[in-house]
Amino acid sequence: MTSHVMPTAERKVRVDLAERSYDILIGPGLIAAAGKEIASRLKGRKMAVITDENVAPRYLEPLMASLGESGIEAVSLILPAGEKTKSFEHLIPVCEAILGARIERNDAVIALGGGVIGDLTGFAAGIVRRGSRFIQIPTSLLAQVDSSVGGKTGINSAHGKNLIGVFHQPDLVLADTAALDTLSPREFRAGYAEVAKYGLIDKPEFFEWLEKNWQAVFAGGPARIEAIAVSCQAKADVVAADERENGRRALLNLGHTFGHALEAATDYDSKRLVHGEGVAIGMVLAHEFSARMNLASPDDARRVEAHLKTVGLPTRLADIPGALPPADRLMEAIAQDKKVKGGKLTFILTRGIGQSFVADDVPSSEVLSFLTEKHPR
Amino acid sequence: MTSHVMPTAERKVRVDLAERSYDILIGPGLIAAAGKEIASRLKGRKMAVITDENVAPRYLEPLMASLGESGIEAVSLILPAGEKTKSFEHLIPVCEAILGARIERNDAVIALGGGVIGDLTGFAAGIVRRGSRFIQIPTSLLAQVDSSVGGKTGINSAHGKNLIGVFHQPDLVLADTAALDTLSPREFRAGYAEVAKYGLIDKPEFFEWLEKNWQAVFAGGPARIEAIAVSCQAKADVVAADERENGRRALLNLGHTFGHALEAATDYDSKRLVHGEGVAIGMVLAHEFSARMNLASPDDARRVEAHLKTVGLPTRLADIPGALPPADRLMEAIAQDKKVKGGKLTFILTRGIGQSFVADDVPSSEVLSFLTEKHPR
C-alpha cells in the first residue's frame, strides 16, 4: 500500500452525482484559500458562514478575510459547540440568519466546523427556499472523512439521533488538513474510527495499511492526507452508487446501529461518549455479533478490537464512564433507530475484515441476548 | 366547453413523475373511502393523521373509522387552525408525533385539512427520517386544486411566506368534493381564485367556461368536480414538466408575487386577507402591470377583474380592510420573495387571457412606480 502515499500535499476527490456532482479538496491551507476556490466555482458573491464558539476564534477571521479578498460579502453566526446544537432550537436562528443575509440562488451557505455544524448548516441550507447552495469547510477529522461528504444532513430528536433532516449535497467541500493539528487527541481518535471503518467495510488492504501506518496518520503529513483522501474516495464511491441509501450506502452504517444506541443511552453527553467512540465500540460489537452468528471468525473481531485499542479508542461497553441502561433499554434505542423495516432489524454484519454486508432480517431476540451477555445487569 | 362536464362523479388525475408518480382521486365520499383507497396502494398499516381544530370535528372520526376498517392503525394530532400554524412552533410537535407513532418506511403521514395543514404536514413528512410517505386529504378548494398537488411543502418565516420547506411529493391525494359543501362562501371563493388562475395561465377556453359556469361550480355537482379535475390536471402537467421550478413551473406563481407581498403586509391576518384573495388581487395587478408595460391590452385586465369581482373576490388594494404599508415597503416584501435572481425581479406577466409567461428581468423601478400609482400615500 505504499502507492497510497503521494508526494503532493493536495488531493481532489470528485463525488459523481450527475448535475449534483462536486469536488472535495484536501490539503493544508484551504481555509486561507477558500475565497479563491469558491469564487472560481460559484457565481454568487454573498455568503452566510455558520460556525461554533470553539472553531470561530481560530478560523473564522482567516476565512472571512479570504472571502473578502475574493470579493465575497459574508455574514457569520457563531453557535454553541456540542451535539446539543443539532436541534430545532438552533436550526431556527440559522435559517433566519440565512434569510436575513438575503442569500440568493447563486450565493451559498458555508459550514465552518465539525460534524455538528455541518449537519445542522446543511439541513438549514436544504430547507431555506427549498434548497440553497452549500459549502462544507470541515475542521474535524470526522467531518472531513465522513459527515461533510454525501449530503446527509439533519438534527437530533427526542426520539433519537439524526431522525430529522434532508438529503442535500454540498456544492464544494474544502478539507483543510492543517486544521486537524489543533484537534484534541481524543477528537482526532474519534474521527479515526470512521477512517478505519472504510477498511472494515470493503478495503482489507487499507485496514492493514492503517495497522502499520496509524502513527504516521496521527502525526500528520502525507500519510494523514492519504488516509483522508482514501476515506473520502471510499465514501464518494458509495454515495455515487446509492445516494439515497436504498441499498449499498447502508454499509456506511457499520458500527452505527450499536453506536447510535450508546450515544442515546449516554444522553449525547460528549464527556462520556462522542460519536466516533460509539462507532468504535459499535464496530467491535458488530464483528463480535457476526462471529456469534457464525458468519465471521472471532479472530477478526479480536483484530479489530486490538487495532482500535492500540490507537486509544474505547472498544467495550465497560469503557464508557458511568452507568449504562440495561440491555433491553439499549435494544429499544436500536429499534427506534432508522434502519428498521416492518419490525425487522437491519444490521451491517461482516464475514471478516473488509467483508461487510447489509443484513435486513436480523432477529431482535438474538441482538437482545447478545447485548445481555455483553452487559449483564 | 361542455365536454368538460362528465356524467360520472369520480375522476382520477395522474401526476407523472417517474418513480414518484401518484394519483389524485376526485369525488364525493373519499374521506369515508380513504382506508380502502390507501390500503390498496400502500403496504404500511401505521399512519399518523395531522389535522386542525376546524376540520377535526367534522372529518377526523369518519377518517379514523375508515382507516380502522381497513386494518390501518392510526394516531392523530389536532393543531390550531390558521396561517400562523405554518411555523417552526407547530412543525416541531408534528415531527415528534410522527416519530412517536413509529411510522416506518411503508407507513405514511396523512394531512387532513386545508393548505396550511397540507404544507406543514408535508414538510414534516419530508424531513422525518429524511423523507416519509405522505398522503394528502385536502378539505378546502384551495388545497384540492393547488397546494395538495406538486410536492411544494413548507412553513413561513419572519422574512416571508413559504421561505422554509422542501420538495416532497405525496404518495396519494384524496380530494373529497363533498367536504367543500361545508366551506364558508369566503373560503370557497378564495380557492376559486386558483381555479381561475389555470385559465389565465394558458387555458383561455377554460377561463371562458368559468365565466359562463361559475355559478354551477359554486353550487356543487358535476361542474364543480369538472373544474377541480381540470385544475388538478393543469397543475399535474406543469409539475411533471418542471418538478423543481427551474422554468415553466414558475407560471403557477401568476398573481403570487404581489399576493405574497400583500399577505406579508397584512401580517398573514386571515381576517383581513387570505391567500386566495391575495392571489385574486395579485392576478389583476399582474394583468394591469402587463398592460402598463405594453405587453397586453388593458381590456384583458378589465375582463379578469370583472369576473373575479362577479364571484365576490377582492380585486384592488383598497378592497383590503385596514391600512396597508406604503408602496416602497410592499416593494421590499416583493424583493425578499423567492422569485429573485441576482437582484433582478422575476414576475409572471401576460400577453392576454391565457397567455402568461415568465419574465425574469423586470426592472424593480417599474414595479415600484406602478405600486405607487396604485397605492399613493
DSSP A21-36: -EEEEEETTTTTTHHH
Whether residue B273 contacts residue B266, with contact meaning beta carbons closer than 8 Å, is answered with: yes
Smallest Cβ–Cβ distance between A104 and the set B105, B130, B341 belongs to: B341
Three cell numbers, residue A183: 484537534
Q: To the nearest whole angstrom, how far is the Cα of A334 from the nearest Cα of chain B?
A: 13
Higher pLDDT, A167 or B377: A167
Question: CB–CB of A106 and B342 under 8 A?
Answer: yes
How many Cβ pairs within 8 Å bridge chains A and B? Answer: 89
Please give the Cα distance from A264 to B352 (Å, whole number): 60
CB atoms A159 and B96 under 8 Å = yes
Q: Are A166 and B126 in contact (CB under 8 A)?
A: yes
Neighbours of A272 (CB within 10 A): 17
Helix ranges restricted to H, chain A: 34-39, 61-69, 88-100, 115-127, 141-142, 185-202, 204-219, 222-241, 256-265, 275-292, 298-310, 327-336, 364-374
> In angstroms, rounded to a whole number, what is the distance separating the alpha carbons of residues A59 and B43?
50
Please give the positions of A annotated as active site. 130, 152, 194, 235, 245, 249, 253, 256, 260, 275
Cα–Cα distance, A144 to A201 (Å, whole number): 18
Across the interface, of B129, B152, B159, the residue whose CB is closest to A338 is: B129
| Sheet-wide strand order for B46-52 | B11-15, B22-27, B172-176, B134-138, B108-113, B46-52, B73-79
Residues of B within an 8 Å Cβ radius of A: 88, 91-92, 95-96, 99-100, 102, 104-106, 123, 126-131, 152, 154, 157-160, 163-167, 336, 338, 340-343
Which H or E run contains B359? Answer: strand B356-362
DSSP string, A237-257: HHHHH-TT-SSGGGGGGTTHH
d(CA B24, CA B9): 14
Contact between residue A150 and residue A138 where contact means Cβ atoms under 8 Å apart: no
| Helix intervals (H) in chain B | 34-39, 56-69, 88-100, 115-127, 141-142, 185-202, 204-219, 222-241, 256-265, 275-292, 298-310, 327-336, 364-374
Contact list, A106 vs chain B (CB under 8 Å): 341-342
B8 CB-near residues (< 8 Å, 6+ apart): none
Cβ contact, residue pair B105, A341, below 8 Å:
yes
What is A291-318 written as a DSSP string? Answer: HHTTSS-HHHHHHHHHHHHHTT---SGG
Q: How far apart are CA B19 and CA B148, in angstroms?
A: 18
CA B70 – CA B59 distance, rounded (Å): 17
Domains and CATH numbers, chain A: 2-182 (3.40.50.1970), 196-374 (1.20.1090.10)
Do the Cβ atoms of B166 and A130 come within 8 Å? yes
| Cβ count near B262 (within 10 Å) | 24
Q: Which residue of A has its CA nearest to B342?
A: A104
Binding residues of A: 115-119, 139-140, 152, 161, 194, 256, 275
Contact A127 B336 (CB under 8 A): no
pLDDT in tens for each of the 377 residues of chain B? 444 443 334 899 999 998 899 999 999 999 999 999 999 999 999 999 999 999 999 999 999 999 999 999 999 999 999 889 999 999 999 999 999 999 988 999 999 999 999 999 999 999 999 999 999 999 999 999 999 999 999 999 988 889 999 999 999 999 999 999 999 999 999 999 999 999 999 999 999 999 999 999 999 989 999 999 999 999 999 999 998 888 889 999 999 999 989 998 998 888 999 999 999 999 999 999 999 999 999 999 999 999 999 999 999 999 999 999 999 999 988 886 655 565 578 899 999 999 999 998 898 889 999 999 998 87
CB contact under 8 A, B104 and A336: no
Q: Which one, of B130, B89, B85, lies nearest residue B111 by Cα?
A: B85
Dihedral sign from CA coordinates of A247, A249, A254, A259: negative
A66 Cα to chain B: minimum distance (Å):
22
Determine the distance in angstroms separating the CA of B179 from the nearest CA of chain A, rounded to an integer. Answer: 30
The pLDDT tens digits for A212-271 are 999 999 999 899 999 999 999 999 999 999 988 888 899 999 999 999 899 989 988 889
Please tell me which residue of chain B has the smallest CA distance to A332. B102
| Chain A residues touching chain B at CB-CB below 8 Å | 88, 91-92, 95-96, 99-100, 102, 104-106, 123, 126-131, 152, 154, 157-160, 163-167, 336, 338, 340-343
